[in-house]
Structure 1
Amino acid sequence: MELNPVLVAFVILGILLAAGHALRVRSALLQRYFIPASLIAGLLGLLLGKDVLGQGASLLGLSALSGGLYSEDVLQVMTGITDISITLIFAALFLGKPIPRLKKMWNQAGPHLSYGMTIGWGQYVLGLLLFLLILGPLFDISPLAGALIEISLQGGTGTAAGLRSTFESLGFPEGVDIAMGLSASSIILGLVTGVLFVNYTVRKGYTSHAKKAEDRTQAEKEGRFEEEHIPAAEKTTRAEAMDSLTANLVAVFLAIGAGMLLQQSLVWLEQVTWGSAYEVYIVKHIPLFPLALVGGVLVQWVYGRFLPFPLIDRGMMLRIQGVALDLMIVSAIVSISLSQIGQHIFVFLILLLFGLGWNWFGIFVIAKKMMPDHWAERSALEYGQSTAMTTTGLLLLQMVDPEKKTPAFDSFGYKQVIFEPFLGGGLFTAASMPLIATFGPVPVLIGAALLMVIWGALGIFYFGKGSGASRPDA
């Protein structure tokens, strides 16, 4: 009898998480450097895939293991789990707590939004300058390569894969290989360098709630509660009516449904307006999770206005997000392809090194000026997103702020509502290559540079001077 690949995928995730947790409990080194079990599990899973175990088995003539331990069906399920998990996380972001005033939301999101926009538009500026000065003259590559840093690092593997038809229709099919390779490599390097950054900030005392290794109890190092301190589960409904977890999951699913409805409405609007008129389709490349966040805001507003009794519990929502985050981290790492670099190795290396260098400049120089309060936590989150995966940012934040006591997580969520529709897989990300092909690299470079300067000035001289998130009404 054929096994269900969905169940197989979850069994594999369970085995990997159990193995990762067991290794962490027994390794003082992993505890010292705040390495979570989900990251250990993901890396173990990656080693057992086709690009590591499979390649090694092929060299040894072991054809049965040439594809690693996972079938293609299971890997596809892993990719789907990643997408579903991040949607669950953002759908639950505002559920179970009062919706803040727009002014407060702007003040909280503003520093992150300014920083994200500055880094995002800066990735276009950097990429187009590299094309004009190095890549074009020396390697005779398409000017569309100037968009690859933002597409790959800010957008990630999903965005790169989703733009395959755009690459091909614009005569740059090799761009898909370069973009996928950049995404996969930056994910790995982002994880490694991000963990180094987290440990640096903790040792220097820049974090607010992450304890140094020597200050933590043995139970804290092993990631468990002392028996007398195990927190009680919150319940909002009686079991004979509906389990509390079910009730809270219903709210999450309704938020996702509202996000789907919004997404399909926008796709329809594009189809009947500029899409059919100019054959330019952009909205369909916007991912679901930022729209699920909007759906969560809508569900929370309806719940707060029309239901007079407690039904959605914030603590339960944090547990749902925690489960989704663990599953997302493992499945995302396991499904990384390490064989997508292609033949343009020098172009690939130049874009990768300069792209990561810009991101490092961002967290150590720009972030301190734009996000002075809780700089380390905010920077860890933003650095992860700008190196190919929002997952990485959430993982790094989990290491420095596991209980979400700083405003970083909520502020980042507010920011995504405005940021994602444009960059990181949004409207401009999808339109960037057609714009470069139509108008040339120089006009797009000028426009991106202007937006980078505007957002940079707003972040440094407005939010960085205490006019935003650090104000009492923020």
Structure 2
Amino acid sequence: MFPGGVVESGSLNSLLFYLAVLGLILFTGTWLRLRINFFKKYFIPASLIAGFIGLILGPHILGVFPEEMVATWGSLPGVLITIVFAPMLIGMTLGSSKEASKFALPQLMYSYLGSAFQIGVPLLIAGLIIIPLFEVNELFGTVIEIGWAGGHGTAGGMTEVFTTLGWAGGSSVALTSATIGLLLGIFGGMIIINIGVKKGYTSIIKNQNQLKSAKQEDVSEKSANSYSALNSSVIESFGFHASIISIAILIGWVLQGAIDPLIPGLPLFPMAMIGGLIVNIILAKTKYFKLIDRHTLQRIQGLALEFLIVGAIASISIPIVIEYAVPLIILTLVSILVLMWYFFYFGPRMFEKDWFEHSIVNLGTLTGVIAVGLMLLRTVDPEMKTDAATAYALRAPLFSPFLGGGLITALVPTLVITYNSIIVGIGFLIISIIVLVIASLLGIFKFNRRESNHSI
């Protein structure tokens, strides 16, 4: 199918060819997404469809794509996730701290609580039951938060960390977990929305007909999604923003090298994000800060993320997934139960108004990616009439750098190897209690808010 004479192995031409094939798969996934009603109805991303196409055509099933090609795709997420994270804090400005705290604090507390549960409970279950019973690696309990909240990017980006810490198959398990989480976010989120509408938990959508009409069209009128303050005769806008991202990554490399003696195996992507923060602080003091366009940075992030997801899913090692299938199913089922309890119990008690809308965006993010969370929110609040989107956006700078694929997520495997799953799991459950205590003292979390908020 792919004779060696066409592409010389190990060359840049080989890489270009493999990327071109990956692009063809992504295009095919997009075409199927636009054509097949099932994919439309359940908002299945084109990159997810494309990833499964690559997996089916890969060496473990049909064998159309050679192992070398798929292995190259598998190495892309570790690189592309750095491109996704590096600009995360570039171009950001904080508004009024009083205004931000009013909207962001309940969301921030709720997000930290969810992540603490998503790290702590799987680690405890793994340490107490799964590791002794199935004799899996000590890091097994980390794959839920890394895969679900972290997504395919974080799971792929942790490949080197898992290998360094002695679990080479960890990345494939984490990527499988990420795929499960993404599907749970999409299908499970839509099921929960339908339940919420029927029981009257939603603030905007009040019946099934409204829910159907709230679904967004796949194709709309053309509109600008990035802007440039630079004349193209100076530099192309995407080139300028790519150069800023490059500087952030270089700073991240320096930081990674400096921290490595203290925290060995820390991946590059959280350090690149800190590098982006340093770039942002420096540029904010100059007149050039106004040249930064957040929308352009997001387009670059989006491009990297689309190819990342396709490459990550297509390169999943099916034999490793089969090996860990039973313990992964157990850990997944426990995590689903915890997530449902977290959503229905803490949501109404953390948010005084519009609890369902505030909670559903977090549920989508905790299982998949930000896009899934926003998609679920747009489904129940199509015109963004509630404060959920504003609060969610304001809490991002105080949450995303640390959890859901951030610095703390990257540190958890090292902590588990240093101590063990049980100790680290208990530690994160203690953190969840501390979050609840703080939220109670601030008047955010209230046990008796149930009846007034139409919760179960």
Q: Same fold per TM (> 0.5)?
A: yes
How many correspondences in the alignment?
403
1:224 to 196, 205, 219: 219
Letter in 2 for 1:69: F
Pairwise CA RMSD: 3.6
Say yes or no: does 1:41 pair with 2:41: no
Provide the rounded CA distance (Å) in 2 between the counterparts of 1:160 and 1:102: 38
Provide the rounded CA distance (Å) in 2 between the counterparts of 1:410 and 1:9: 39
Aligned to 1:414: 398
Provide the rounded CA distance (Å) in 2 between the counterparts of 1:298 and 1:102: 21
Aligned to 2:110: 111
1:285 to 260, 265, 268: 265
1:305-361 deviations in Å (ceiling 9; x for gaps):
112573111221222222222222212211222210465765454344334443444
Provide the rounded CA distance (Å) in 2 between the counterparts of 1:444 and 1:431: 7
Aligned to 1:127: 126
Provide the rounded CA distance (Å) in 2 between the counterparts of 1:197 and 1:463: 31
* Deviation (angstroms), 1:407: 4.4
The answer to whether the Cα contact below 8 Å between 2:82 and 2:269 also exists between their aligned partners in 1 is: yes
Aligned to 1:172: none
Identity of aligned residues (%): 21
* Deviation (angstroms), 1:152: 2.0
The answer to whether the Cα contact below 8 Å between 2:225 and 2:296 also exists between their aligned partners in 1 is: no
Provide the rounded CA distance (Å) in 1 between the counterparts of 2:159 and 2:171: 6
Letter in 2 for 1:267: D
For residues 284 and 409 of structure 1, do their structure 2 counterparts lie closer, same or farther at Cα, with a shift above 3 Å needed? farther
Provide the rounded CA distance (Å) in 2 between the counterparts of 1:258 and 1:242: 23
Provide the rounded CA distance (Å) in 2 between the counterparts of 1:421 and 1:326: 19
The answer to whether the Cα contact below 8 Å between 1:78 and 1:335 also exists between their aligned partners in 2 is: yes
Letter in 1 for 2:373: L
1:431-474 deviations in Å (ceiling 9; x for gaps):
313423xxxx77666545433433454456658439xxxxxxxx
1:328 to 303, 308, 312: 308
1:184-229 deviations in Å (ceiling 9; x for gaps):
44233223222112323554465989x944345xxx53x2222xx5
Aligned to 2:410: 425
1:24-76 deviations in Å (ceiling 9; x for gaps):
222222212112222221222221112222xxxxxxxxxxx3xx41432x333
Aligned to 2:65: 69
For residues 215 and 342 of structure 1, do their structure 2 counterparts lie closer, same or farther at Cα, with a shift above 3 Å needed? closer
Greater CA drift, 158-167 or 185-194: 158-167
2:376 to 394, 400, 415: 400
* Deviation (angstroms), 1:87: 2.0
The answer to whether the Cα contact below 8 Å between 1:370 and 1:463 also exists between their aligned partners in 2 is: no
* Deviation (angstroms), 1:413: 5.1
Provide the rounded CA distance (Å) in 2 between the counterparts of 1:153 and 1:339: 19
* Deviation (angstroms), 1:240: 1.2
Q: Gapped runs of 5+ residues in structure 2?
A: 148-154, 379-383, 447-456
For residues 44 and 452 of structure 1, do their structure 2 counterparts lie closer, same or farther at Cα, with a shift above 3 Å needed? same
* Deviation (angstroms), 1:400: 3.4
Aligned to 1:94: 89
Letter in 2 for 1:418: F
Say yes or no: does 1:340 pair with 2:320: yes
Alignment of 1:74-473 (within 5 A): 74-99=69-94, 104=100, 107=105, 109-130=108-129, 136=132, 139=133, 141=135, 145=138, 147-149=139-141, 151-156=142-147, 157-158=155-156, 159=158, 162-164=161-163, 166-167=165-166, 179=170, 182-203=173-194, 204=196, 212-216=211-215, 220-221=216-217, 223-226=218-221, 229-231=222-224, 233-268=226-261, 270=262, 283-307=263-287, 310-341=290-321, 346-366=326-346, 369-370=349-350, 372=355, 374-384=358-368, 393-397=369-373, 399-400=375-376, 406-408=390-392, 411-412=395-396, 414-419=398-403, 423-426=408-411, 428-436=412-420, 447-458=427-438, 462=442, 464-465=444-445
What secondary structure, in the 3-state scheme, does the structure 1 residue paired with 2:299 have? helix
Provide the rounded CA distance (Å) in 2 between the counterparts of 1:232 and 1:165: 40
* Deviation (angstroms), 1:304: 1.7
What secondary structure, in the 3-state scheme, does the structure 2 residue paired with 1:284 have? coil
Compute the TM-score of the two structures, normalised by the length of structure 2.
Answer: 0.75
Letter in 1 for 2:70: L
The answer to whether the Cα contact below 8 Å between 1:201 and 1:207 also exists between their aligned partners in 2 is: no
What secondary structure, in the 3-state scheme, does the structure 1 residue paired with 2:191 have? helix
Provide the rounded CA distance (Å) in 1 between the counterparts of 2:443 and 2:256: 31
For residues 363 and 461 of structure 1, do their structure 2 counterparts lie closer, same or farther at Cα, with a shift above 3 Å needed? farther
For residues 214 and 415 of structure 1, do their structure 2 counterparts lie closer, same or farther at Cα, with a shift above 3 Å needed? same
The answer to whether the Cα contact below 8 Å between 1:109 and 1:414 also exists between their aligned partners in 2 is: yes
1:87-117 deviations in Å (ceiling 9; x for gaps):
2222222323324688858846443233212
The answer to whether the Cα contact below 8 Å between 1:197 and 1:380 also exists between their aligned partners in 2 is: no
The answer to whether the Cα contact below 8 Å between 1:91 and 1:252 also exists between their aligned partners in 2 is: yes
The answer to whether the Cα contact below 8 Å between 1:115 and 1:370 also exists between their aligned partners in 2 is: no
What secondary structure, in the 3-state scheme, does the structure 2 residue paired with 1:231 have? coil
The answer to whether the Cα contact below 8 Å between 1:370 and 1:460 also exists between their aligned partners in 2 is: no
The answer to whether the Cα contact below 8 Å between 2:18 and 2:72 also exists between their aligned partners in 1 is: yes
* Deviation (angstroms), 1:237: 0.9
What secondary structure, in the 3-state scheme, does the structure 1 residue paired with 2:219 have? coil
Letter in 1 for 2:126: G
The answer to whether the Cα contact below 8 Å between 1:118 and 1:453 also exists between their aligned partners in 2 is: no
Provide the rounded CA distance (Å) in 1 between the counterparts of 2:364 and 2:435: 20
The answer to whether the Cα contact below 8 Å between 1:127 and 1:351 also exists between their aligned partners in 2 is: yes
The answer to whether the Cα contact below 8 Å between 1:184 and 1:337 also exists between their aligned partners in 2 is: no
